[in-house]
Amino acid sequence: MKLRDTFTVYRKELCEALRDRRTLISMFLVPAVIMPAIFFLFGTATYQLMKSTRTQPPVVAVLGGEDSPAVRAQLEAAEGLVVVSAPHDWRERIADKQLRAVVEIPPRFEASLAGHASAQVKIYHYEGEFKSGFAAGELRRFFTELRERTLAERLTARSLPADFARPFEIRSENVAPPEKVGGAAFGGFIPYVLILLSFTGVIYPAIDLMAGEKERGTMETLLCSPAARLDLVLGKFLLVLTISLTTVLCSLVSMAVSLVAGGLMMVGSGRFTTELAGSAAGGAAALPSLDPLGLVGVVVLVVPLAVLFAAVALTLSLFARTQKEAQTYLGPLVAVVLLPAVAGVLPGVELNSTFALVPVLNVTLACKELVSGVWLWPQLALIFGSTCVYAAASLAWCVRMFSRESVLFRS
């Protein structure tokens, strides 16, 4: 192995890659566009959903309650709801989103309240549907306030203080720093996108450098050069790794710019902040942030993972005779990579010594903690070490396959 020959091959492949428009688009344009687009579309969709919920009150129906006119009148006068009588097919109308929720008032409801008896109110809604959940929450809030007023009246009738039935209050206060809040909000999204881009970034150059060379008939010319096969494969590997890491770094920069720009827009727009956060000051204080050192740690963990991706992609492309065949080999690997990445963002999946040894999943879980400002050094060392071992084994496999004539010239 000669480093001079390795870097000569690397420079030659890099110059050719920089002349390829598709490579430049995947390295720079896609990360620069996809991150702002995701944040903009997500923020706009959330804002429009909240706005439509407030400007267009949900339609709810009342089932029963004919002998409780006062309660029905108070409910119909409540703000934020459009109250109608429940039709006979109210269940189907909730499913069809013509009704958002239905409240069932039991018979003799007002009489039960006046007689100091107990009654049960049922609220029907469509689980998982945002506007239905919002309508159910408004109905729950109305009847909770009615219950509190009824309780206060009963206590007053017995000459008891209003807080007699509530001996103490429960108050919760957030002690998490802003970066922890930001990590909870974006900790699953960031590694998912970075892992996806780092893997997709190696697919095209790996196919072009191996299967493409075979298809163009230039592989034989390269093998006849003075450079050793080890230098050839390492030079190609360094190019694929460079493209993958460049894609990741561009994604991080684009993500940081998008977060800063989005935060400035939220703080600067009084109307937006007031509607979503309650006040401009409260909205600015509630904006999540990410730990900058954590992002550096994310990059460090992604490097051996990118080495693993580059080595595997090069090896599989080496087995293919044509670029189309290489695509059939590498295409299913996208799902194989994304499955552990998605599993890492599921609730309840936390970093431990076992998961620290699972490729991709370990980096996903570690990234969630790092962007939150949590540094679990034993697990991080285990993750970095195990990923380096996997990457070294994959690279060794790639070098060995490149040295076999049966793989290079198989028919």
- Is 277 exposed, middle or buried (CB count within 10 Å of its CB: 0-12, 13-18, 19+)? middle
Residue that is written with structure tokens 């570690």 in the block = 366
Q: From first to last of its 411 residues, what are the pLDDT tens digits of the chain?
A: 678 889 998 999 899 888 888 888 878 888 788 777 777 787 777 777 777 766 788 999 999 989 999 999 999 999 889 999 999 999 999 999 999 999 999 999 999 998 888 899 999 999 988 889 999 999 999 999 999 999 988 888 888 887 888 888 888 887 766 656 655 656 667 788 888 888 988 998 999 989 888 888 888 888 888 888 899 999 999 999 999 999 888 888 887 777 777 654 444 444 444 444 443 334 444 445 567 788 888 889 999 999 999 999 999 999 888 889 999 999 888 888 989 888 887 777 888 888 999 999 999 889 888 887 788 899 999 999 999 999 999 999 999 998 888 777 766
d(CA 116, CA 126): 32
Supply 155's token pair.
Answer: 């206590």
Instruction: Report the candidate in 363, 320, 316 with the shortest Cα–Cα distance to residue 344.
Output: 363
Q: What is the pLDDT of residue 86?
A: 92
Are 307 and 248 within 8 A, CB to CB?
Answer: no
Find the length of the chain.
411
d(CA 189, CA 183): 9
Q: What is the pLDDT of residue 176?
A: 67
Name, in order, each residue with C-beta under 8 angstroms of 155's C-beta and a sequence gap of 6 or more: 161, 162, 164, 165
Instruction: Report the candidate in 51, 61, 56, 66 with the shortest Cα–Cα distance to residue 139.
Output: 61
d(CA 149, CA 75): 14
Beta-strand relationship, 122-125 and 59-64: unpaired
Domain boundaries, the chain: 3-50+177-409, 56-164
Supply 235's token pair.
Answer: 């030079």
Q: What is the pLDDT of residue 290?
A: 65
> For every residue of the chain, which 3-state class applies, written as one string?
CCHHHHHHHHHHHHHHHHCCHHHHHHHHHHHHHHHHHHHHHHHHHHHHHHHHHHHCCCEEEEEECCCCHHHHHHHHHCCCCEEEECCCCHHHHHHCCCCCEEEEECCCHHHHHHCCCCCCCEEEECCCCHHHHHHHHHHHHHHHHHHHHHHHHHHHHCCCCCCCCCCCCCCCCCCCCHHHHHHHHHCCHHHHHHHHHHHHHHHHHHHHHCHHHHHHCCHHHHHCCCCCHHHHHHHHHHHHHHHHHHHHHHHHHHHHHHHHHHHHHHHHCHHHHHHHHCCHHHHHHHCCCCCHHHHHHHHHHHHHHHHHHHHHHHHHHHHCCCHHHHHHHHHHHHHHHHHHHHHCCCCCCCCCCCHHHCCCHHHHHHHHHHCCCCCCHHHHHHHHHHHHHHHHHHHHHHHHHHCCHHHHCCC
Question: Residue 367 half-sphere exposure, CB side, CA atoms within 13 Å?
Answer: 29
> In this structure, which topology does domain 56-164 adopt according to CATH?
abc type-2 transporter like fold (3.40.1710)
Name, in order, each residue with C-beta under 8 angstroms of 77's C-beta and a sequence gap of 6 or more: none
Name, in order, each residue with C-beta under 8 angstroms of 206's C-beta and a sequence gap of 6 or more: 240, 310, 313, 314, 316, 317, 326, 330
pTM here is 0.72
